[in-house]
Structure 1
Amino acid sequence: MPKQLVLKAMKSPGWLVALCFALWFAAHSFFAFLFVSATVAIWIKRSIKAALKEEKVEDSKAPAHAVVAPAPADANVTPLKRQYAKSAVVVPLKTGTDD
């Protein structure tokens, strides 16, 4: 529901004004703050529950036994050399002076 509310607020200036007014009112009224906080908490709880349910469905669709071929032990592996990128800490700042 909040996702739909945000999309409506982005498409219509009336919804944006209503959303801003509701947040402003919640900032100035304790009871409005409690209502908005409860609404956000319920929304977060529902979105977490939906994500867990979706993840559970994806896990059930995954194959039970995935066979992975082991890498040969005698493969020629070259060690990686660390390459450090220049950062703002290393490169002196250009201030425009000659000193």
Structure 2
Amino acid sequence: MRTAHIELASALAKDPSNSEAFMLRQDLTSREGARDAALSAARNCAAQHMWNCAWHNAGKALSIDSSSSEAHAMVRRSIVDSGAINLPPGPGPDMPDGP
């Protein structure tokens, strides 16, 4: 998302009245807030050793920002610490009993 901020700042510097760039910047800021909220929830779940919850929220953060290294690390940690890495392939943390 850092690159997006740089590009939007550049577009707005060239044309401060660029309404599309302004709206994109607002959308980006909103998405970052949603990503940060999901990561915060994942951290809280992890602190309580609620690994499926951490996995779910970190995955949500990844769906918003696939470049988030913290979200990637939290997903990996949640998979390992939940024991899911030792389970056969199947449904994810939101559907433990199947569809």
Give the alignment's TM-score, normalised by structure 2: 0.39
Of the two, which has the highest radius of gyration?
Answer: 1
Give the alignment's TM-score, normalised by structure 1: 0.39
Q: Normalized per residue, which structure has more helix?
A: 2
